[in-house]
Structure 1
Amino acid sequence: MRVFYWTLHALLSHWRQHPVQFFSVLTGLWLATSLLTGVQALNSQARESYARASQLIGGEPQASLSAPNGASFSQEVFVSLRRAGWPVSPVLQARLSLKGHDDQRLQLMGIEPVSLPGGSAVAGQALDMAQIVGFFSPPGSTWIAPQTLQVLGYHEGDQPLTENGLALPPLHSQADMAPGLLLVDISFAQHLLGMPDQVSRLLLPKDFAATQPALPAELVGQLVLKSSGEENNLSRLTESFHLNLDALGFLSFVVGLFIVHAAIGLALEQRRGLLRTLRACGVSARMLILSLGVELGGLALLGGLAGVVSGYFLASLLLPDVAASLRGLYGAEVAGQLSLSPLWWASGVGLSLFGALLA
């Protein structure tokens, strides 16, 4: 241990004499990790929002019936199919603006909780009878994501007004709700959107849809059956956007590694005499390699921690603009605040260690 300590002490003395090289290594690791982890944070947040949106009803994307052109249609179709034995459930979805928030177009979704496919979950939870009754009984309930509630500046129980002066049912935050989405009973949605007796699509249980049932003759050509995951697949729609971000982050990572590679190579070249002296003093090759590895690992850890922290702040700064771009280009709603798992932080530091070893 004493030999290891003095060997490491001798190697670290080089950085005191060449501080510019030290900051070159540290800055290269910092920039490489910062930009790549920032991009990964943005993409991770977006994909989490897509997953919540697709899993809002039923725990996973459901099969559905909708008009070929995507337009709404009469709820009499729902009644006819139920009478024909089809276990369909109506959904109405459209954009909505609230008074005082004209710049934010929210998605209002109306569902009919009683007719949902058996075993369905809404926002990650199974509805009990009390929740179902409270959902459609006046004054009703509007489920909203906590982040969206905070961004809009409302509180639990508030009843904001639409741009038409209609009051929403009282707001209730739900942890697993998709951002930018308001969930109400379909009767309230029809009233708020000014679309009486209209529905956007009809949900079907996956096992029923898998049998490929034939539509009643009078509805052939009016409705199209879309399989699970086929409808509103935001991950597939925005794939090119996130691929460009990934490419940008990877390019910055490679550039940072070139800086680190050059600085480490120069430092090793300048320390050849020191390495020969240490070997002449009895330090084994294994101990020398271990000391060099610990030195490099310490630099990578410092650069990685700085990079992950700055990457988080960079992602926080860019997230509103990225969310606005995704909303404008693809109609995708992304949470306006980062909520990253500890795995992301650990992977950022691991990325810096991997980059240092690669360099």
Structure 2
Amino acid sequence: MLLLGLSLATALWSAVQAINGEARASYDRAAAILGQDRLAQLVREDGARMDQQEFVRLRRAGWLASPVIEGEMRFGDVRLRVLGIDPLTLPPQAQQVDIAAGDQLLPFITAPGVLYAAPETAARLTEQATPPVRVAEGLPPGTVLTDIGQAQVLLGAKDKISRLLLWPDQPIGRAPLKVTAPGLTLREPSETGDLARLTDSFHLNLTAFGFLAFAVGLFIVHSAIGLAFEQRRPVFRTLRALGLPARVLVLLLIAELLTFALLAGLVGVALGYVVASALLPDVAATLRGLYGADVPGTLSIRPAVWAAGLAIAVIGTLVAAAQSLWRLWHLPLLAPAQPRAWARASERGLRAQGVAAMVLLLTAAGIAHFGSGFEAGFALLAALLLGRH
């Protein structure tokens, strides 16, 4: 029961963290494209596209800027985010693809142009009528990179651009921005992308449900450990009577529990990846439908998720066993042999649990009256589980 409860709890928690990690990695790639997390940008105050002449005026005034156009379009049943760049003025920090290498520049800037896309996106475009597609590992899924002139044609936005990327080192003595382009505003680089901020609530809810599932699994682990300690009362009595110190006995039990925790953690993390792989396509579809976020439907194995899964399995086991270990540490020498020894030793803890359950129940009622249903349900379920235990 201990292995089963801990494996399931770790699997559900690891599955949620793997899905969240994959989504956040996708947001980071989207935020890093064209150096948006490192370069300042010039945009119109109302967010609309600007005229291409703004770029010309800024360049003549001494500003080192590079135009970018962005938009969405469909090739058949494939919806894509199209990014158009000027490879001749693009800052080095924004170069996702080495277009100038070899003979790639000329096909890129001349008709019909070239589309650079991530491997999974390129695979989806194989049967669509598009310009030639080349694979680029650094691009996020659902995004294609092309020359700004070709992008303007594809998006039907002739002589329009979305924003201007600024080089980090600007010439001294250039004309002020308010004089050269009074309708533009400076946007500083942001390490956190707009999608990451937009979907924070969604991922917070996923994390909360994963933690709740893990907490429910820990109740199974706690009960299994308590039952095992109760069944071992004669063994504890015999070992203590033979002279084994309580400290050594507790350390041996902790070592045994850690062995179970690592074994169950490995099984749980592996099972969590199976669950996450099955759920990720639906989560990606939800994020795409609600927020327009393109998340890959395949899961990457991330060492951080494995390490976090093992760590939470170990921590959860120690938390679930803490009460039983504390009780064993403080019981008199021959008390473990007494039938009611464990019950008497846990009376204070049971009273504290009852009080905590009542507090959570009242909190749930108050939140349900004044707040949102999710927090109320979370507190109510915790109160019922704690009270029942």
State the TM bucket, normalised to the shorter chain: 0.7 to 0.9
CA contact (8 A) 1:141 1:171 kept: yes
Once the two structures are superposed, the pairs formed by residues 186-205 of structure 1 within 5 Å of their partners are: 186-205=148-167
Aligned AA (2:62): G
Cα-to-partner distance string for 1:10-52 (whole Å, 9 max, x where unaligned)? xxxxxxxxxxxxx2x1222122211111111111111111111
- Aligned residue number for residue 28 of structure 1: 5
Residue aligning to 2:33: 56
C-alpha change, 1:305 and 1:219, in structure 2 (3 Å) is same
Extract unaligned runs of 5+ from structure 1: 1-22, 162-166
- Partners in 2 of 1:59 and 1:95 — Cα distance? 18
The 3 A distance-change label for structure 1 pair 37 and 208 is farther
TM-score by length of 1: 0.81
Q: Does 1:136 find its partner at 2:136?
A: no
Asked if the contact 1:88/1:203 (under 8 Å) is kept, the reply is yes
Is 1:68 matched up with 2:45? yes
The total of aligned residue pairs comes to 320
Equivalent of residue 95 in structure 1, options 72, 91, 110: 72
Structure 2 runs not aligned, ≥5 long: 321-389
Q: Distance in 2 between matches of 1:293 and 1:213?
A: 70
1:234-253 correspondence runs (5 A): 234-253=195-214
Structure 2-normalised TM-score?
A: 0.75
Of 80, 83, 95, the match for 1:122 = 95
- CA 1:153–1:86 in structure 2 vs 1: closer, same or farther (change >3 Å)? closer
Identity in percent: 47
Residue range with higher mean Cα deviation, 324-333 or 35-44: 324-333
Who is 1:17 aligned against?
Answer: none
Q: Which amino acid aligns with 2:139?
A: M
2:69 aligned counterpart, secondary structure: strand
Root-mean-square deviation (Å): 2.7
Task: Give the AA of the match of 2:108.
Answer: F
Change in Cα spacing, 1:203 to 1:97, as seen in structure 2 (3 Å) is: same
Describe the shift of the 1:232–1:196 C-alpha distance in structure 2 as closer, same or farther (beyond 3 A). farther
Distance in 1 (CA, whole Å) between partners of 2:102 and 2:165 is 20
1:112 — aligned with what? 86
Aligned partners of 2:15 and 2:276 also within 8 Å: yes
Residues 308 and 349 in structure 1, CA contact (< 8 A), matched pair in contact too: yes
Cα deviation, residue 295, structure 1: 2.1
**Deviations 1:90-111, CA, capped at 9 Å, x for gaps:** 1111111112x2xx42101111
Offset from partner CA, 1:209-262 (integer Å, 9 cap, x none): 9x9973254732x32221111895222221111111111111112221122112
In the alignment, does 2:316 pair up with 1:355?
yes
**Partners of 1:320 and 1:93 in 2: how far apart?**
26
Letter of the structure 2 residue corresponding to residue 37 of structure 1: S
Q: How does 1:296-335 map to 2 (within 5 A)?
A: 296-335=257-296
Taking structure 1 as reference, are residues 340 and 204 closer, same or farther at Cα in structure 2, changes over 3 Å only?
same
Letter in 1 for 2:87: P
1:227 and 2:188 correspond:
yes
Whichever structure has more helix as a proportion of its residues is: 2
- Separation (CA, whole Å) in 2 of partners of 1:231 and 1:264: 43
